[in-house]
Amino acid sequence: MIKIFLYECKRLLLNKFFFGILFVLLFYGRQVLSGTTVLGVSHTAPFSAWSFGDYLSRMLPLLWIGTLFFLTFFTSAKARRASVLTDAVRTCPRRYAMARCAAAFSGTLLLSLVCLAEAAVFYGSYFGWYEWGQLIIPVLVTLLPALIFALGSGWLLGRIRPWLIYVWMIVPFLCMALPLPSVLGIWNGSFFTEYPLTVGSLDPAFSIPAPVIAAQCVLLICGVLLLMFTGKKIHN
Amino acid sequence: MNTLKSFALELGRLLQSRLTWLVLLLTVISPAAGLTLYKPAFAETMLSMYLANPALAGGAVSGILFGLLTIYELDRSSRSRADVLINAIVSPMRSGMVRMLALNAAAIIGLFLTMLIWLPITYAQAGTVLDMTNYCLAYMIFMGLALPCSILAAAACYQFTNRADLSVVLFAAFAGLSLTVWSDNWQLCWLNPCVWALSDDFTNFRIFRSAAYMRLMWLAALSGVWVLSWCCIRRYGKGILGSLLRSTRRIYRPVIALLLIACSGAAYAAQPIIDNSNPDETASAFLELPYLEGVVCTGRTAKVYPDTAKGTVTGTASYRFLNSSGQTQTVSFGINPGYTVSSVQVNGEDMPFSIGDYQEFNEALLEAEIPADENVELIVEYGGFPQESRNMSETQGSAEISDEYICLQNAELAPRIMNVMPDEGMYPAEIEITLPKGMTVIPFCASEASIVSEYENGTVTWRYEDNGAGGILYAGDYICEEIDAGGITIEFYYGRKHRSVMESAGAIDAVRAVVDYCTEHYGPLSFGMGDKLKLIQSRVTGGGYAGDGASLLDEADFTAANLGDPGKGAGSGEVMIHELVHQWWGLANMFDSSNETDPWSAEGLTVYTTYRIVKELYGEEYAKQYYIDQWQQETDDYYLNFYVRNPEYLEKLPEEKRLEVLGSLTHVRRYCEMPLKILKAEQLVGGEEAMDMILHELFNRELDPYYPYLTYQNFLDACELREEDLNLD
């Protein structure tokens, strides 16, 4: 199975789509960091966990799209034609699907790491700030649930109807445009700009209220549960 | 099959697709987003709210939709694996061209339908201020030009990458940048032009020109990129480079592409709309120019000829100098950076001159040498398209020149003398301006303009006298009402279209109330040229200013929307109040303005007095909510700002960002922190009455001719307070 995983990774990562989106992410990230993040959010430093969370939430739509596009490698018409052959192989479909999802997740992880590395370089070069450990929690809270959910839901939708993946790409943009309740504030980034102001202290340490954690956990669990369906064939 | 026939077939096919009609339907609906979700034009004029915002939202939404449709359509044959067959019949390059043209034709249909359907809706919302010129220009420039830009960008993405997925990502990022990070950069926001306001009462050609310039620049760039990508369309089984080499055998293709990109680059670099003023708004290099020894200016004249069709100005300015130094001297003038100088003559002879590259506060430095003669007459011939300040590039439109409205300020009117002292404290000036008949000329000073000649071509020359190195002039389709208040006569000029709104808003009563209040509390105004004060309504500018004998009223002060909104009704006209109050606090030599970062300025007392008037007119609760609470909020934000608390990090920022942060902080200190301190002083001295008496004394104090300014220390002394007494918690 490791061989399949590596092969799928090679398919996803050694092609012009991956390098193209990498370039787009780097360019967009640079623009966000130097145009918006540099001012800081909610009276906090540009390198605070809050400002960094705001940066991540601005990058999330592109990462979401990237994740879903990775899935189109497995759900496209071409891939479906090839599935006649791959399905004939004596491999557990669930494990095969898991290997593919793991490859897609690896691609997403790589893209996310590039965004994080870019921010780290920016903080170092602008402010001489290197305490990156403080930024792990915002990464876990912002990116992990959303991208796992993107993977799970995208996989499911792609297997129902491949074009649904493309429709699903609009979701983060809708979240940014719609006035979401505060408990879903991480989905459109408003949490990072509004919540620190309600804490009542200057430069508050990064903290997340329980309902927001619960919402993110639900998102994460939903993503994981949806991934559990990966082995089941829904549509021919 | 020729291209035209292919185009007709492709367009027919496109219009049979349900997806195309869905996109067209969404395009027609898309301006609704500008009424609810996306409102980039934040001014409260009717056309900003009900024309600019829907058109801008329509452009952004339909641009994205057509971009995605383009990728979908270009990928169609590859997706259905019909590309091998189709390419055998029609050249893929011709297919690419035809598809692009058909998509653009569909976009034009979408735009036409949108304009048709939204015309009655916009008229119902905006009312009689809507005219077809504004409507058509707004939809065609703000919305219409977004569509070909999107189609070209999306098609280029696809033709370069030959992949739908990567094209969608590239296009999404390109659109995303315009909508977010680039949204404040008027040249880069290709999808959502930087439009903040449209005037109801006057024309909007300046902002239309700016948006059209940006759009055409991008259209040229994207056309160039598209032609390049067109050459990359995969042919004969070759890859991107092979196809490119094959396609560029016809040399005109890459030449056209490169020419378009080069033109666009040149248009970006040499744009004529915005100047290169120093972003540091505390810079004062021009103010610090030393005055010439032994040279005084005894008078000046200017003959100005605005071209209302082109939005340009030409003029001849003449300056008379008395040079008692016995040597040649270099005279410096401030000139609008958009103007060119065709000649400088001194005593009838051409003299060399130079215009510096450095620009500050919308002025460039023009230098010319004058000879050692005692009496010197220097004549400057100048003209061009006036540029607006870079620091105001997000709120363009102030340099409007049309046959309905003109505003020429200082160096836009004529070169402004910068390093020559006046003779006996006076720069007597005679200004003549030739304009279409029907426009009323209003000098922004105490003097009056009168018609001196009329011409057969329908123009009229106005003349007025002024005193100063610069000068501001308004002209337009104005009506004037005279108001007697506070012992003076106020000439209230406002746009003819605004009459019904002014009457409904009770604007005249509001003006009278303000003047009566200030006269009663601080004392009467006195002017050098009669007891007259001009109150002039400008087109929407986002603020105002005051001069000796004149104050500005923003068009957005009194709008039909404000009248119809009970939440804002009481507050309409507050910029007018502020600018009228400046007649008491802030004119002539009242405040030392040499330190641009000093929180003590004319604004503190003016904002405080505005609050007091609003409190009296509209009640304590309203004044607290819209003044004290907002000052407090802004001041709290200021003290909490990361860079205020940690200035060492401010130094680490790039200069442009540092200046942006510093500028916004100074604004808060002057407009919010200082009024709060004055309010605290009011409480410490025993209340409003006691403060009114103190301010009355300060306004009527005996002036020290060597330092006539009202300083913060004067204020503290009058209140018998120390600086630390007014520290805010």
pLDDT at A2 over 90: no
DSSP B599: S
pLDDT, position B629? 92
Query: Among all residues of chain B, which has the CA nearest to that of A129?
Result: B649
Rounded distance between C-alpha atoms, residue A106 and residue A113, angstroms: 10
Percent of residues, chain B, with pLDDT higher than 70: 95
pLDDT value of position A7: 85
Give B18's contacts in chain A (Cβ within 8 Å). Answer: none
Query: Is A236 within the bounds of a domain?
Result: no
Angle at B189 between CA B184 and CA B190, to 5 degrees: 165
> Would you call A105 helix, strand, or coil by DSSP?
helix
For residue B148, name the pLDDT band (cuts at 50, 70, 90): very high
Among B402, B361, B153, B202, which Cα is nearest to B275's? B361
User: Among B524, B431, B441, B428, which Cα is nearest to B480's?
Assistant: B441
Task: Report the alpha-carbon angle B452-B456-B462, nearest 5.
Answer: 20
Q: Does B451 touch chain A (CB under 8 A)?
A: no
CB contact under 8 A, B169 and A45: no
Across residues B278-301, what is the average pLDDT? 88
Query: Apex CA B622: angle with CA B620 and CA B628, to 5°?
Result: 80
| Residue whose pair of structure tokens reads 């699903």 in the numeric block | A168
pLDDT attached to residue A160: 86
Does residue A235 carry a pLDDT above 60?
Answer: no
A24–B177 CB contact, under 8 Å? no
- pLDDT tens string A100-109: 888 999 999 9
Mean pLDDT score, B448-465: 92
Q: Where are the alpha helices (DSSP H) in A76-199?
A: 77-86, 93-127, 136-160, 162-168, 171-177, 185-188, 190-199
Say whether residue A26 is in contact with chain B using an 8 A CB cutoff: no
Q: What pLDDT was estimated at residue B560?
A: 64
At residue B572, the pLDDT reads 55
| B136 CB within 8 Å of a chain A CB | no
Q: Is A36 in CB contact (< 8 Å) with chain B?
A: yes
| Residue A163 touches partner B, C-beta closer than 8 Å | no
Q: What is the mean pLDDT of residues B361-389?
A: 93
**pLDDT higher than 60, residue B94:** yes
Selected residue of B23, B166, B182, B640 to mutate for chain A interface (largest A Cβ count, 10 A): B166
Domains with residue ranges and CATH for chain B? 3-269 (no CATH), 295-476 (2.60.40.1730), 479-584 (1.10.390.10), 587-726 (1.10.390)
* pLDDT one-digit tens code per residue, B44-86: 889 999 999 999 999 999 999 999 999 999 998 888 888 888 8
Distance CA A37, CA A55 (A): 6
Q: Does any CB of chain B come closer than 8 Å to the CB of residue A83? A: no
Q: Assess whether pLDDT exceeds 80 at residue B318.
A: yes
The answer to whether residue A188 is domain-embedded is yes
Nearest by CB to A65, which of B172, B642, B661?
B172
Confidence of residue B501 (pLDDT cuts 50, 70, 90): confident
Tell me whether residues A39 and B657 touch, CB distance under 8 A: yes
B108 falls in which pLDDT band (50, 70, 90)? very high
State how far residue A123 is from chain B, nearest Cα, in angstroms: 11
Question: CA-CA distance, B289 to B386, in Å (whole number)?
Answer: 24
Confidence of residue B707 (pLDDT cuts 50, 70, 90): confident
Q: In chain B, pLDDT over 90 holds for what percent of residues?
A: 48
| Cα Dmax for chain A | 62
B507-522 helix and B602-618 helix, angle to the nearest 10 degrees? 120
Boundaries of domain holding A102: 2-231
Q: How crowded is residue A84: how many other Cβ atoms within 10 Å of its Cβ? A: 8
Residue A236 has pLDDT above 80, yes or no: no
Residue B567: which pLDDT band, with cuts at 50, 70 and 90? Answer: very low
CA separation for the pair B315, B317 (Å, rounded): 6
Condensed to tens digits (0 to 9), the pLDDT of residues B243-277 reads 999 888 899 999 999 999 999 999 999 999 999 99
Asked if A77's CB is within 8 angstroms of B79's CB, the reply is: yes
CA gap A141, A73 in Å, rounded: 27
**Residues composing chain A:** 236
For range B136-148, the mean pLDDT: 96
B229 touches chain A (CB under 8 A): no
Which of chain B's residues have a Cβ under 8 Å away from the Cβ of A200?
Answer: none
pLDDT band at B566 (very low <50, low <70, confident <90, very high): very low
User: What average pLDDT is seen over chain B?
Assistant: 88
CA atoms within 13 A of residue B185's CA, in its CB half-sphere:
13
Q: What is the pLDDT of residue B414?
A: 94
Mean pLDDT of B225-248: 90
ipTM: 0.81
B619-642 pLDDT per residue, tens? 889 889 889 999 999 898 888 889
The pLDDT value given to residue B447: 85
Q: Does A45 touch chain B (CB under 8 A)?
A: yes
Q: Chain A residue closest to B647 (CA)? A: A45
Q: Over the Cα atoms of chain B, what is R_g?
A: 29
Q: Residue A81 and residue B673: Cα distance in Å, rounded?
A: 69
- pLDDT, residue B563, reads 53
**Hey, is the C-beta of B661 within 8 angstroms of any chain A C-beta?**
yes
Examine the pLDDT at B588 and tell me if it is beyond 80: no
CA quadruple A107, A111, A117, A120: dihedral positive or negative?
A: negative
- Output the pLDDT for position A78: 76
- Any B CB within 8 A of A12 CB: no
Yes or no: say if B632 and B676 are a contact pair by the CB < 8 Å rule.
Answer: yes
Q: Which pLDDT value is given to residue B593?
A: 67
What interhelical angle do B205-231 and B240-247 show, nearest 10? 100
Contact by Cβ (8 Å): A193, A54: yes
CB atoms within 10 A of CB B260: 20
What pLDDT is stored for residue B559 in this prediction? 67
Sort out which chain A residues have CB atoms less than 8 A from B166's CB and list them: 16-17, 20-21, 69
Asked whether the beta carbons of residue A72 and residue B165 sit closer than 8 angstroms, the reply is yes
Tell me which amino acid residue B355 is.
I
For residues B3-18, average pLDDT:
90
> Which among B161, B646, B654 has CB closest to A16?
B161
Name the residue among B504, B597, B513, B493 with its Cα closest to residue B202: B493
Chain B residues closer than 8 Å to A31 by CB:
177, 181-182
Check B180 against A39: CB less than 8 A apart: no
Number of domains in chain A: 1
Residue A59 has pLDDT above 90, yes or no: yes
Instruction: Give yes or no for a contact between B527 and B564, defined as CB atoms under 8 angstroms apart.
Output: no
Choose the most confident range, by mean pLDDT, from B210-219, B293-302, B461-470: B210-219
Q: What percent of chain A has pLDDT over 70?
A: 97
Identify the pLDDT of residue A231.
Answer: 56
- Residues in chain B closer than 8 A to A21 (CB atoms): 166, 169
Cβ pair A45:B182 closer than 8 A? no
Q: How many CB pairs under 8 A join A and B?
A: 75
Mean pLDDT of B127-142: 93
